[in-house]
Amino acid sequence: MLTFKPVFFGAVLGVGGLANDWRAASRLWGVPAGIGEALACTAFALWTVLITLYALKWLRHPVAAREEVQHPVQALVAALIPVTTMIASLAIAPHASVLGWWLYLAGSLGMLAFAAWSIGGLWLGGRDPAAITPILYLPVVGGGFVAALASASFGAPDAAWMFFGIGLLSWLGLESVMLTRLFTLKLPVELRATLGIHLAPAAVGSVAFSSVSPMVGGTNHVALLLLGYGLFLALIMLRLLPFLREQGFGPGAWSYTFGVSALPLAAMRLVEQGTGAPVVQLALPLFVAANLIIGWIAVRSLMLLAQFAFARPQTTA
């Protein structure tokens, strides 16, 4: 219980994002719908287990939990809790609409509260430049875009636009700050996986804009330009693979799955709305790549979990 960290919620992003990919693929290419629903139920079950474990940590080890949310770098990872609550709401909504609605409401309000608290703390100043990492995107950029997507899905278009504004304008402000940090201060090895979060805003923003402003029978140019930037960032990630692989595999690897799962979904949403080449040609390869990457991370995570379980010392009387 004491070793449980908010970073573990990243797995919900990957599995839930892949579920949305398969749901879109079912509509677009006729792949079995059951695969997407099975992944969605898995994401919801995983979120249920993780939120229970995190609540128990606060009950049994409040000092350790409080120290985590006061850490200069890792504190903002707790933004994954309301964000994945909204992902869980989207996953379960087709099977339990009332439960999905309440989870959406809790997640969106929780996102607003945590984002205001965390970003307000940054406004106080005095932050060490070395503590500026892509984790800063999570509370307000990732949270704003996911809330926009969820709001549109639950029939709240005006709220969706407001959340999209929060995500977009915060992203534009933070992007220059983040690039300045990356240009001037090298990320230490133990923080390299946070670059996976840097991949996400453009792709998730494209999906969110396709949801708040769908365009049927034409080209959604705003969603398309966001997808283009997301694909460019993916190319940069490929160029940085030797640099990124210096960090050993761990739970932080799930940070890559936020953007990896959003890229094919953004492309498939555009194809569904009538966008032609080259997005049509890119959608399937991106979908296959997302399944391979997230599947590999899932298998490695299960292996790591098994090693941890078998390596735990046996208690004695």
pLDDT value of position 74: 76
Q: Is the pLDDT of residue 61 over 80?
A: yes
State what percent of residues in the chain have pLDDT above 70: 95
Q: Does 228 fall in a domain?
A: yes
The overall average pLDDT reported for the chain is 90
pLDDT digits 0-9 by tens, 186-234: 888 988 898 999 999 999 999 999 999 887 767 788 999 999 999 999 9
pLDDT value of position 173: 92
Q: How far apart are CA 139 and CA 234, in angstroms?
A: 22
Q: Is the pLDDT of residue 48 over 60?
A: yes
pLDDT digits 0-9 by tens, 258-313: 999 999 999 999 998 888 789 999 999 999 999 999 999 999 988 888 876 555 54
Please check whether residue 248 is in contact with residue 189, taking contact to mean a CB–CB distance below 8 angstroms.
no
Give the pLDDT mean for 61-87: 85
B/e letters for 166-183, b = 16+ CB within 10 Å, e = fewer, are bbbebbeebbeebeebee
pLDDT value of position 313: 46
Q: 267 lies in which domain range?
A: 6-303
Give the pLDDT mean for 30-57: 94
pLDDT value of position 1: 53
Q: Does 314 fall in a domain?
A: no
Confidence of residue 7 (pLDDT cuts 50, 70, 90): confident
Chain centroid to Cα 125, Å, comes to 27
B/e letters for 228-254, b = 16+ CB within 10 Å, e = fewer, are eebbebbeebeeeeeebeebeeebbbb
Give the pLDDT mean for 24-37: 94
Report the amino acid identity of residue 98: V
Q: Does 113 fall in a domain?
A: yes
pLDDT value of position 315: 37
pLDDT digits 0-9 by tens, 114-141: 999 989 988 888 888 888 889 999 999 9
Q: Quick one: tokens of 13? A: 């992003």
Q: Does 309 fall in a domain?
A: no
Give the pLDDT mean for 10-38: 94
Give the pLDDT mean for 154-177: 94
What is the largest distance, in Å, between two alpha-carbon atoms of the chain?
70
pLDDT value of position 47: 95
Q: Does 196 fall in a domain?
A: yes
DSSP state of 215: -
Q: Is the pLDDT of residue 314 over 50?
A: no
CATH of the domain at 223: 1.50.10.150
Q: How far apart are CA 287 and CA 301, in angstroms?
A: 21
pLDDT value of position 277: 80
Task: Give CB contacts under 8 A, 24+ apart, made by 220-227.
Answer: 220/270, 220/273, 220/275, 223/266, 223/269, 223/270, 224/270, 224/275, 224/279, 226/202, 226/266, 227/202, 227/203, 227/263, 227/266, 227/267, 227/270, 227/279
Q: Is the pLDDT of residue 316 over 90?
A: no
Q: Is the pLDDT of residue 156 over 50?
A: yes
Chain centroid to Cα 160, Å, comes to 18
Q: What are phi and psi of 69, to 5 degrees?
A: -80, 0
Q: Does 312 fall in a domain?
A: no
pLDDT value of position 309: 57
Q: Into how many domains does the chain fold?
A: 1
- Name residues whose C-beta falls within 8 Å of residue 295's C-beta, 6 or more positions apart in sequence: none
Q: Does 317 fall in a domain?
A: no
Strand ranges for the chain from DSSP E: none
